[in-house]
Amino acid sequence: MRTFVTGAAGFIGSTLVDRLLADGHRVVGIDNLTTGDLANLNQALAFHAPGRFTFVQADVQSPELSDIVAGSNPDVIFHLAAQVDVRISVADPLLDARNNVLGTINVCEAARAAGVRRIVYAASGGSRYGAPLALPVDEETPAHPLSPYGVAKMVGELYLGAYAQMYDIAPICLALANVYGPRQNPHGEAGVVAMFGSAMLQGRPVNIYGDGTASRDYVYVGDVVEAFARAGESSLDITGTFNIGTGQQVTVREVHRVMAALVDGSLPPNFAAARTGELQAIALDAAAAEASLGWKPAVGFTEGIERTVSWLRATLAPDPAELIGA
């Protein structure tokens, strides 16, 4: 299969690229490298099969996107490029909408022009449903996003639905829970697992905002790319939105406890005032993904955390050359 991945240098995108190459597909990846890191593609760029992987530094908003897509003639577009920070979306909703709404429309247009029928889109299960009263939520729960990021990601789903009606495009939107795992940026505010892990390994205390009872549905990145791979290979009559999560709620305190048990000498957490607008709890019912895509999560939370901590340990290890120079 010929595949096209937007956001290819990001956390989930680069993991998907490696998975698609391992499955024997050809991959063209694009990324504008705002939050993505070319180092995430080292394995893909070293892949020992000439021509199987091509990277193009480009923005999904750019007018050249249509030519790039047409030139690679993909069977499937996996659209993961996005501005992913909720707080940036609040501070600069126009920037967020340009990337996440206009960028997605441009991907739809490029697909239409090139005759690509399957688009698999990274939707946001964490923001799609607002603050639901009953958990876990299924896809029939009304969408009620509460941030510019959530609205823009939802609008992407709506555009894909409209393109499905107008042009026979067959989109699958994977509404992802809180994804964690190797390659999640440990330096930013990307995800609580990456932040806690890097702080603990570097001997810094961890901040827990609120009382630590806020809970999320943590899904391992390997399971998430399995869902993308299945969606990409599924029959074109399967379309629509599918939750991708574990259905389990894990509190922030529990994340801290599991991680602290793996890192010798980690400090007790600091408790700080709860941040306004943060959701108290979310968990996704992924029964529809199991029924239509045969997908269910395979990596348990403790195992996923162990893999992530090992990766963080290797990534954050001090460079011996720097120590010699110090």
Ligand X SMILES: NC(=O)c1ccc[n+]([C@@H]2O[C@H](COP(=O)([O-])OP(=O)(O)OC[C@H]3O[C@@H](n4cnc5c(N)ncnc54)[C@H](O)[C@@H]3O)[C@@H](O)[C@H]2O)c1
User: Would you tell me which residues interact with ligand X (CB under 6 A)?
Assistant: 6-7, 9-13, 31-36, 59-61, 80-84, 99, 103, 122, 124, 126, 153, 176, 178-179, 191
CB of 58 to ligand X, least distance (A): 7
Cβ distance to ligand X smaller for residue 266 or 283? 283
Cβ distance to ligand X smaller for residue 163 or 228? 228
CB of 264 to ligand X, least distance (A): 28
Cβ distance to ligand X smaller for residue 103 or 269? 103
Q: Which SS3 state, helix, strand or coil, does residue 119 take?
A: strand
CB of 324 to ligand X, least distance (A): 32
Cβ distance to ligand X smaller for residue 104 or 234? 104
Q: At what angle do helices 11-22 and 221-233 cross, to 10 degrees?
A: 60
Q: Is 180 in the active site?
A: no
CA atoms within 13 A on the CB side of 307: 15
CB of 23 to ligand X, least distance (A): 19
Query: What gap in Å lies between CA 83 and CA 98, rounded to an integer?
Result: 9
Give the rounded distance of the alpha carbon of 267 from its chain centre.
29
DSSP state of 38: G
Give the residue among 146, 103, 84 at the shortest CA–CA distance from 276.
Answer: 146
Cβ distance to ligand X smaller for residue 29 or 269? 29
Q: Which residue has the tokens 């946001």?
A: 124
Query: What gap in Å lies between CA 245 and CA 223, rounded to an integer?
Result: 9
Query: What gap in Å lies between CA 18 and CA 24, rounded to an integer?
Result: 10
CB of 184 to ligand X, least distance (A): 7
Q: Looking at 121, 129, 149, 159, which residue is catalytic?
A: 149
The dihedral of CA 131, 92, 181, 255: what is its sign?
A: negative
Q: Which SS3 state, helix, strand or coil, does residue 230 take?
A: helix
Q: Which SS3 state, helix, strand or coil, does residue 298 take?
A: coil
Active site residues: 149
